[in-house]
Structure 1
Amino acid sequence: MAAAGGGREATTSGCGLKRRYAPHDQEEETMNQDQPSKEDRCGRIWSGIDLLKDVTENKHVLPTGLEGIDRLLGGGLRQGQLTEVTGPSSSGKTQVCLHSASHAPVKHTGVVMYLDTSNSFSPSRIATIIDGTNDLSDQKGFDLLSKERLKTVMQSIICESVFDIFGMFEVLHQLEVSLLNEKVIGDGRRICLLIIDSISSLLAPIIGGKYPQGRSMMISLAMILKKLAYEHNLAVLVTNHMVSAGNGAVKPALGESWKSVPHVRLMISREHSSNICTGTVLKHTLLASGRTAKFVLP
């Protein structure tokens, strides 16, 4: 990390966007003096009224910007929950992530943290989503309003490249520190959406037998993500690839241990040589499984 002014530290991601964190001593001071105790946050007994109020007032839905998916998921990605998008290669998983990252800052005036494990983040693709065209070479068509919206969106996306599980643990730890600090000082714009594209790229190598503790690390990562989602009111979106299930069928990767982790599981597929996709709900906390919808990836 490179030192920044005012005793804070900053890193610059591979996308040229800076992350800021509280210094260690400030973190300890705020946690000791201003943060609620662990019992207050985690040991509180919630009544039915409390839970209903939390769901209706705090757990908002962030639209992905893809009408078919938003309709299928009851509005989009729910805060406080982990949503998994799975599908074959080139089915559009990354496009769903980029659309979500493009719409959350505009609709929710929040910040998106995009953890990129396979160099899939594309600023130019974000620009085409916002502009609504497929060609950025014609700058005349990229009007002032689109440029201002693009600037707003790109300033609201924190992109970080993460290439192994240990790096992911470190980034998530520092994210939690940052969220705790922001809760105290309240700068007005907090992270509303955390995207990991793709989570299977990190987890598949460690659960194949090479790492004896691979599955334990996978479950630890799952617990951290769900804790961040619930305690900090984030919508968490991860992507997962498909593997063979035998007899020509396919299924989401990462096995039975991971299957129970996502609150919502959405499988997408794309018609051959087309931008028309089908989404299928494999799992949802509020809606029936098996529901399908068509949507178009522009």
Structure 2
Amino acid sequence: MAPLNSLSKEYPLIDSNFQTFCASHAIYSVEDFLLHDLDALFASAANHSNSERLKQGIHQLLLIVDALHPPVLNGLQLIEDAKRNKHVFSTGCEGIDALLGGGLRVGQLTELVGPSSSGKTQVCLMSSSTVAKNKCSVIYLDTGNSFSPQRIAYFVGQSSDYVSVNQADHRLLQNILDRIICYPVFDVYQMFDLLHQLKINLRSQIVKSDHQVQVLIVDSISSLITPILRGNGPQGHALMISSGFLLKQLAHEHNIAVLVTNHVVGGDDGNPKPALGESWKSVPHVRLLLSRDCRSNVSNISIIKHPAMASGRSATSTRLFV
């Protein structure tokens, strides 16, 4: 989000005095402001000689934050928006595509939930290869060193060893891999930096038309967010919500499909449930639960949440672990 010093021309209340006051609380951007305790900030402002102007500056920042949220749409506008954003991208997994009516829908955030080794990363790699094969670009944020060119080679129908394919096939594979832009990401702040840069690139149309970014993948979102929720209180929670908002904003404003993965934790009833808690579950538009039968290597995919489909619908796949 915008640094405070970039707002002063448009918003006179965000002047150098206000920026100095904010800097004394380690607030240098709108994002920093969101993470701060507002009650404590107002209390601190009250102790200054220009307290009223500082409070007005705080209220101005709150209005700026409100303006960042997309407007509320009525029913007709929602239908028109759905028509504009009806394009879907195949994941390459027949079970998931059948379950979702074609695949990943642009303008939406889809979440894959499942235990370790359930196939979440395989779906991400398969989706990347399928989208890139259709001459669209994919941004892949890899949080666990799990990105595998060998699996990409397999999914595009080449070989399990991408080094040994023939020259013509190697060129095809190289073109596909060139369209998958993979970034190793190891903390939520690095993810914010990359997503903000992506937003700037998309707005500036830096990406070439024949390599238009259509899909954004974060594998896994929970490995970035879980550490900040431990002992960080409201700051960790605010970062989590900001992450979800930014991902949905990118999907909505730039008509891209966003796919994230999440692990499971034990529920109160002993059954596994998605990690990241009650607040996060409202973030994804679509939530899918993956499970794997290790004896047969069959994956089961079921709908946890979908804006247009009933929860509980399921499908199977045998391709993820071949």
User: Does TM, scored on the shorter chain, surpass 0.5?
Assistant: yes
Decide which of 157, 175, 191 is 2:198's aligned counterpart: 175
Q: 2:127 aligns with which of 100, 104, 107?
A: 100
Distance 1:43 1:94 in 2: 34
**Structure 2 match to 1:114:** 140
Q: Could you list the runs of 5+ residues in structure 2 that have no partner in the other structure?
A: 1-65
Equivalence for 1:64: 91
Quote the residue 2:225 is aligned against: 203
Find the aligned partners of 1:47 and 1:67 in 2 and give their Cα distance.
32
CA-CA distance at 1:58 after TM superposition: 3.4
For 2:71 and 2:84, locate their aligned partners in 1 and report how far apart those are by CA, in whole Å: 21
Asked whether the equivalents of residues 115 and 161 of structure 1 are also in contact (C-alpha less than 8 Å), the reply is yes
Q: Which runs of 5+ in 1 are unaligned?
A: 1-37
1:30 corresponding residue in structure 2: none
State the Cα distance separating 1:151 from its structure 2 match.
2.0
Deviations 1:149-195 (A, max 9, x none): 31221110111011111111111111100111117x86443210000
User: Which residue of 1 is the match for residue 117 of structure 2?
Assistant: 90
Is 1:130–1:149's contact at 8 Å kept on the other side of the alignment? no
Bigger strand fraction: 1
CA distance in 2, matches of 1:146, 1:100: 20
What is the TM-score of this pair, normalised by structure 2? 0.73
- Per-residue CA deviations over 1:10-60 (Å, capped at 9, x if unaligned) read xxxxxxxxxxxxxxxxxxxxxxxxxxxx98x95597772x54343234331
Alpha-carbon contact 1:59-1:233 (below 8 Å) kept: no
Q: Which moved more, 1:229-238 or 1:185-194?
A: 185-194
Change (3 A) 1:164 1:231: same
Aligned to 2:42: none
CA–CA distance in 1 between the matches of 2:224 and 2:170?
Answer: 35
Which amino acid letter does the alignment assign opposite residue 112 of structure 1? V
- The 1:56/1:145 distance shift into structure 2, 3 A limit, reads farther
Q: Distance in 1 between matches of 2:204 and 2:143?
A: 26
For residues 139 and 102 of structure 2, the distance between their equivalents in structure 1, rounded to whole angstroms, comes to 21
Matched, 1:126 2:152: yes
Name the amino acid aligned to 2:90. P
* TM-fit CA distance, 1:272: 1.8
User: Which amino acid in 1 is paired with 2:225?
Assistant: L
Q: 2-side partners of 1:59 and 1:155: how far apart?
A: 27
* Residue from 167, 185, 189 that aligns with 1:166: 189
Cα drift, residue 247 of structure 1:
4.3
Taking only the aligned residue pairs, the percentage that are identical comes to 50
Question: Equivalent residues in 2 for 1:142-153 (5 A)?
Answer: 142=165, 146-153=169-176
Distance 1:239 1:45, change over 3 A: closer
Residue aligning to 1:284? 306
CA deviations over 1:216-273 (Å, ceiling 9, x no partner): 1100111101000000001000000000113431101000000111000000000023
Tell me which residue corresponds to 1:75: 102
Distance 1:283 1:43, change over 3 A: closer
Q: Which residue of 2 aligns with 1:217?
A: 239
Secondary structure, aligned partner of 1:153: helix
> Is residue 275 of structure 2 the alignment partner of residue 275 of structure 1?
no
CA gap 1:45/1:54 in 2 versus in 1, 3 angstroms? closer
Whichever of the two has the greater Rg, that structure is 2
Cα 1:103–1:145 change in 2 (3 A) is farther
**1:143: how far off?**
5.1
TM-score, normalised relative to structure 1: 0.78
Matched to 2:154, the amino acid is: T
Match for residue 213 of structure 2 among 172, 187, 191: 191
Larger RCO (CA within 8 A; separation ≥ 6): 1
Whole-Å separation in 1 of the counterparts to 2:111 and 2:85: 21
Query: SS at the partner of 2:132?
Result: helix
Residues in 2 aligned to 1:227 and 1:263: alpha-carbon distance in whole angstroms: 12
Taking structure 1 as reference, are residues 158 and 245 closer, same or farther at Cα in structure 2, changes over 3 Å only? Answer: same
* CA gap 1:260/1:179 in 2 versus in 1, 3 angstroms: same
